[in-house]
Amino acid sequence: MIQRIRRFDWTQFGTIVVLLLLSVIFIFSARYQSGDVSLSGKALQQVVWALIGLGCYAGAAAFDYRRLAEIHWWVYAGAMLSLLLVFAFPEKNNAHRWIPMPGFDLQPSEFAKIALVFSLAAVLSLPSTDVDEPVTFLKAALIAAVPFFLIVVEPDLGTSMVLVPVTVALLFCAGAPARPIVILIGTGIGALILIGVWLTWLPDTCPFLTDYQKSRVLVYLNVNQDPLGAGWNKLQSQIAVGSGGLFGKGYLKGTQNILGFLPRTVAPTDFIYSVVAEETGFAGSGVLLALYATISVRCMRTAVKAIDLFGRLLAVGIGVLIFSHVFVNIAMTVGLMPITGLPLPLMSYGGSFMVTTMGALGLVQSVYLRRRKV
Amino acid sequence: MRIRRTKQIPNLRVYTVLAVMLGSQLILLGALWRLQVANVAKFEDRIQIQSLRRVRLAGIRGKIYDRNDLCLADNRPAYSIAMFLENVRKPGPWSKTVDSAMQVMQTVADATGLEPAVDEDTIRKHTRLRLPLPLILWQDIGPQPMARFVEQAGDEPGVDIYTRATRSYPYSPYTSHLIGYVGRADPGKLNETERYNYYLPEMGGRAGLEKLFDPFLRGEAGGAVVQIDVSGYHHGELARREPTRGGDLRLTLDMEVQLLAHQALGTNCGAVVVLDPNNGDVLAMLSGPSYDANRFVPYITSADWRRLSDNPDKPLLNRAVAGTYPPGSTFKPLVGLAAATADPNAISTVYDSPSTFRIGRRVVHTHGHGEVDMRQAIEQSANVYFFKTALACGLEPIIEQSLAIGLGQKTGVEVDYEAGGIVPDTNWMRTAGKGGWTDGDTCNLAIGQGYLTTTPLQMAMVTATIANGGYLYRPRLVQAYRAPGDDHYTDQPVRRVGKMDWPQSALTTVRGGMRDVVMAEKGTGTRAAVEGLDFAAKTGTAEYWTTVNGRRVTKNHTWMIAFAPFDRPQYAVAFVIEDGVSGGRTVGPRLQILMKGLLGKMESEGRIQTSETGPLRSEIRDQRSEVRTQESGNRNSAILTGAKAQVSDSQLPVSLFAGQGGAS
């Protein structure tokens, strides 16, 4: 037992706890302006979610991750089934993303991301798998494609997009030949540029994107397109971040957030980072960024130290998954990327995502606990 | 499951991934630095003028035109004097700014001669809630104060003329029931996805077409992003999305005909509906008394409202579609057609029409007309003839035809409240708890009394169907619409719903009888006759009970239906006047006014040859015989039934034959 505790990755755990504390503090700030000062508001709900998340974390850390390799298909099948299940429920905000549960809405795409990491890691680490064979590539692509398209049709393009870097990173770290991966990445970037150009010049002819998605991309390409409509959140978020300055306006004093220029509904969820940036300035948002960098580093360190390839890939997959969310969310907040509905891990308000993130980080801890003895 | 050892794969790849991740985060850090620190000058400015407000600008309402593009619902500019508080602000506590605002307002008030319309409290509230918006000091000022303001107070700091579109109804008292009116709306309740900090006042449809087509007319709201400074005052406008215009409507209404109808109805309580029998277009639809819809814009004072809603003449009620009356003898042509459809011999059947008639145990006294056939029975409005006809053919054909032609149901015309009327059949009697159906009820129905009620619009529709040879059109009020941004109108379809299966011979007989009502010696409607116009009509007088000073008295709803010209009908008219003497005497002369006007209109538009004149009325009119026939025919029908009309409240109809009515 003592040995276990000594082997525990305290740095990773400590970073997580700090992030959870910050989350509750700034969700309270984000809700402060709408008169939600009671402790029964969203901040308190987030405390409950954080505690449930810590439970999941402990459970996952105690669980021997190697047993996952045996049951990963069940997890994968369950996640895909729940992705299909969302279509059985009525639309909400024009999308089938949620399964209504008593008290909250379950978002199965959060679980699907983790399930994808499990299955890819397990399949790529099979002794019978030869990563040099093209068929391995196809297999991995197929495993990723099913949740990808199920999430695209919900529609939730933002969430499905994070599956791409995860798949690529796992292939790469499993030792697949570098050239096809580089070609893949190049094609992807080329396609994105093509869509951007297409939307800018001929927005009406572009297929497969909904009007809503088109407008968001267009706003990203040109902020002045519609400052009242789709551009509003972006403009406000940028002003909020910008007005933070070097040291911020102080806790509970962010006027953009307090006066409700950031839509009240999204401030505690997708735009929580802009609340932090406004109130704590460059110093605070930089610290937050450093905390996330620490998580990335610890995940990769776990990967290097893992006892087997499955553990390594698990750590890489989860590390990249969390990083992708962090990057996309912050990039959107500062106006580097179009607005997508991706939450900021451990900070944003929300249950499903909190539970999956904490469970996944618990698994990384599990890999770390059972690492090679140097 | 065996698992490969990690050693086979170099750690280098994991470090590469880590490097990519950390590099990306460095990019984010750089972006943050640029946004938060590098552009210090830019953001210091932002901190001063950091806040933006979204102001919703109401859409511009579409207009409503008549068929000749005469504007019936228009937008006119309303000039207000507004104060821009950022220009009158004073340093220090708020009260200083409020005082300064009061001073400026007093100066303007002295210069223009306007009484101050806002008090200190309103200004204080405005500074708290809507500071970046102009404060309206006087709304919709007239040209005189406007001229004085420009001359004497135009350079007063912080005040200016503020223009806003407002609704006006140039033909209001004549079109109020159709067009309706707008009132102050609450755009915050529109459930829009875009949220705003401030909403400028907006008009929303409250009645009539304005209400029915509100989403179409309203137009799309625009918005402005307003910068405010650190104290909350207006600083500048950052961006603006102009509101767009709503769609326009073109009605089938012909204002010329509508004004003729108004002239004909005069100050009476009643309704006039004029349809085009060739397509069901509503050419005029008038309900009297009316009201001035402009008084509702932007809001009606409670005194005005009380005056309208407490008025016993119910000016807010659109009698043309929401008033239900027993049709009286104007129902007889349809009874004749129904009987002839069931049995083609009915048109030539001659019945003795004596002055007393026995149904069951009851003896009915009415005026005798001797031996008459159907054409004569219509001409003279012979009650007993129709009793016998209805008893011979039975109840079913009459009910069937009434329902087929659209009675007892809403016509679906574009009005915001329409009544359906009642066609009483045996089922209705049972569910309404009126007991079993008797022969007496059949006789009541045969002369359009008892439980039967119709709206003037429905009777105009019946008239149009008889006029055009049996083609059934649902009335159409909106001829075409023009969506925002369209150059051309899109036509609404003509609603032809079917054809009545009347034998041609029956139609000829009934139309002939209706022609005789106006044109022949013994006709009950000769008072409506117009020199030079050959047309057909039918009178009707429906008696109802009402309470005046606690005593029950009988009153008459008086009707005429008409179509003109007889050969190629272009107008089908239903005309009701409440509380009249009889159809021929009360409505006849009024219908004559309308018909004269329509004749003049047809002549001036070249739609009728003036030479095509009928027999000269003056030669064959026998004033005395006409009056006698008319009075006896109609008065007796009233005595017979003792039925009453329903004018939207629910006095229950009474029937003599059912033994429940007040027999006289």
Q: Which residues of B touch A245 (CB under 8 A)?
A: 36-37, 40, 43, 47
pLDDT digits (tens, 9 = 90+) for B518-568: 999 889 999 999 999 999 999 999 988 877 788 888 889 999 999 999 999
Q: Which residues of B fall within a CB distance of 8 Å from A66?
A: 3
Distances, alpha carbon B634 to alpha carbons A150, A169, B586, in Å: 77, 97, 12
What span, in angstroms and rounded, lies between the C-alpha atoms of B31 and B34?
5
Residue B234 in this model has a pLDDT that exceeds 60: yes
Average pLDDT, integer, range B460-482 = 94
Q: Is the pLDDT of residue A224 over 80?
A: no
Sorting pLDDT into bands at 50, 70 and 90, what band is B236? confident
**pLDDT, average across residues A345-371:** 90
| Length reported for chain B | 664
A259/B35 Cβ within 8 A: no
* B31 CB within 8 Å of a chain A CB: yes
**A323 Cβ under 8 Å from any chain B Cβ:** yes
SS3 B383: helix
Residue B464: what pLDDT?
96
- A243 to B1: CB separation less than 8 angstroms, yes or no: no
Flag if A224 and B239 touch (Cβ within 8 Å): yes
Grade residue B655 by pLDDT with cuts at 50, 70 and 90. very low
pLDDT of B312 higher than 70:
yes
Q: How far is A7 from chain B (nearest CA, A)?
A: 20
Q: What is the CA radius of gyration of chain B?
A: 35
Sorting pLDDT into bands at 50, 70 and 90, what band is B437? Answer: confident
pLDDT at residue B99, as a whole number: 86
Q: How many percent of chain A have pLDDT more than 70?
A: 80
pLDDT at A336 over 90: no
- Interface pTM, i.e. ipTM: 0.87
Q: How far apart are CA A109 and CA A149, in angstroms?
A: 11
Percent composition of chain B: helix, strand, coil (DSSP 3-state, to 5): 40, 25, 35
Q: Would you place residue B515 in the very low, low, confident or very high pLDDT band (cuts 50, 70, 90)?
A: very high
Q: Yes or no: say if B449 and B422 are a contact pair by the CB < 8 Å rule.
A: no
**Chain-chain contact of B21 with A320 (C-beta, under 8 angstroms):** yes
Q: Is A18's pLDDT higher than 70?
A: yes
Dist. CA B633–CA A226, nearest whole Å: 74
Searching chain A, which residue's CA lies closest to the CA of residue B19? A297
Whose CA is closest to B577, among B535, B541, B630? Answer: B541
Amino acid at A83: L
- Mean pLDDT, chain B, rounded, equals 83
Cis peptide before B565 (omega within 30 of 0): yes
Contacts of B199 in chain A (CB under 8 A): none
Q: Is the confidence at residue A202, as pLDDT, over 90? A: no
Q: Cβ contact (<8 Å) for B223 and A224? A: no
Give one DSSP letter per residue of B606-642, joined into a string. T-S-TT-----HHHH--HHHHHHHHHHHHHHHHHHH-
Confidence of residue B648 (pLDDT cuts 50, 70, 90): very low
pLDDT of residue A239 exceeding 80: no
Q: Tell whether B238 is within 8 A of chain A (Cβ).
A: yes
Mean pLDDT of B394-423: 92
Q: Looking at the complex, does the CB of residue A165 fall below 8 Å from at least one CB of chain B? A: no
- How far off is chain B from A244, nearest CA to CA, in Å? 6
Window 91-120 of B, Cβ < 8 Å to A: none
The minimum CA-CA distance between A66 and chain B, rounded to whole Å, is: 9
Contacts of A307 in chain B (CB under 8 A): 6
Please tell me the distance in Å from A115's CA to the nearest CA on chain B: 19
Residue B663 pLDDT = 32
Contact state of B18 with A297 under an 8 Å Cβ cutoff: yes
Contact A327 B11 (CB under 8 A): no
Average pLDDT over residues A212-219: 64
Residues 6+ apart with CB under 8 A from B400: B338
- pLDDT value at residue A317: 95
Residue B111 predicted with pLDDT over 80? yes
CB pairs under 8 A between A and B: 151
Q: Does A327 touch chain B (CB under 8 A)?
A: yes
Closest Cβ–Cβ partner in B5, B36, B195 for A282:
B36
Of chain B residues 604-633, which have a CB less than 8 A from chain A?
Answer: none
Mean pLDDT of chain A: 82
Across A135-162, average pLDDT: 87
- Could you tell me which residues come within 8 angstroms of residue A42 by beta carbon, excluding any fewer than 6 positions away? A27, A28, A31, A36, A268, A349
CA-based nearest distance A158→chain B, Å? 18
pLDDT of residue B7: 45
Instruction: Give CA–CA dist B386/B359, Å, rounded.
Output: 13
Report the pLDDT value the prediction gives residue B266, as an integer from 0 to 100. Answer: 92
DSSP result, B557-616: EEEEEEEESSSS--EEEEEEEEEES-IIIIIHHHHHHHHHHHHHHHHHTT-S-TT-----
Asked if B7 reaches chain A (Cβ–Cβ under 8 Å), the answer is no
**Contact residues, chain A, for B50 at CB < 8 Å:** 239, 243, 255-256
Out of A215-219, A301-305, B48-52, B219-223, least confident range = B48-52
Q: Give the closest of A125, A224, A289 to B3, CB-based.
A: A125
| pLDDT score for B204 | 85
Least confidently predicted of A94-103, A302-311, B581-590: A94-103
Locate B308 and state its tokens.
């309208």
Whether B623 has a pLDDT exceeding 80, the answer reads: no
Least confident of A355-364, B181-190, B200-209: B181-190
Q: A125 and chain B: CB distance < 8 Å anywhere?
A: yes
User: pLDDT-based confidence at B614, cuts 50/70/90?
Assistant: very low
B38: contact with A, CB 8 A cutoff: no
A336 and B33 in contact by Cβ < 8 A? no
What average pLDDT does range A235-264 have in this prediction? 67
Give the global pTM. 0.62
Q: What is the DSSP letter of A59?
A: H
Distance between CA A22 and CA A33 in Å, rounded? 18
| pLDDT over 90 (residue A201) | no
Whether the CB of A69 is below 8 Å from some CB of chain B: the reply is yes
Q: Which of residues 271-300 of A touch B (CB under 8 A)?
A: 277, 281-282, 285-286, 289, 292-293, 296-297, 300
Using a 10 angstrom Cβ sphere, with 0-12 exposed, 13-18 middle and 19 or more buried, the burial of residue B35 is: buried
User: Which band of pLDDT confidence, cut at 50, 70 and 90, is reported for residue A268?
Assistant: low
C-alpha to C-alpha distance for B304 and B296, rounded to whole angstroms: 9
B318-357 confidence digits (pLDDT tens): 999 999 999 999 999 999 999 999 998 888 899 988 888 8
Reported as a single tens digit per residue, the pLDDT across A25-58 is 888 877 665 454 555 577 888 888 899 999 999 9
Interface test with B, best of A34, A300, A368 (most B CBs within 10 A): A300
> Which of B115-119, B171-175, B363-367 has the highest average model confidence (pLDDT)?
B171-175
* Residue B636 contacts residue B319 (beta carbons within 8 Å): no
CB contact under 8 A, B3 and A310: yes
Kindly list the distances between the CA atom of residue B417 and the CA atoms of B62, B216, B237, B474, in Å, as whole numbers in the listed order.
22, 19, 44, 16
Determine the average pLDDT of the residues in B360-367. 81
Any B CB within 8 A of A325 CB: no
Q: How far is CA A102 from CA A99, A105, A106, in A?
A: 10, 8, 10
Q: Is the confidence at residue A321, as pLDDT, over 90?
A: yes
The more confidently predicted of residues B658 and B129 is B129
Q: Band the pLDDT of B506: cuts 50, 70, 90.
A: very high
Q: With cut-offs at 50, 70 and 90, classify the pLDDT of residue B615.
A: very low
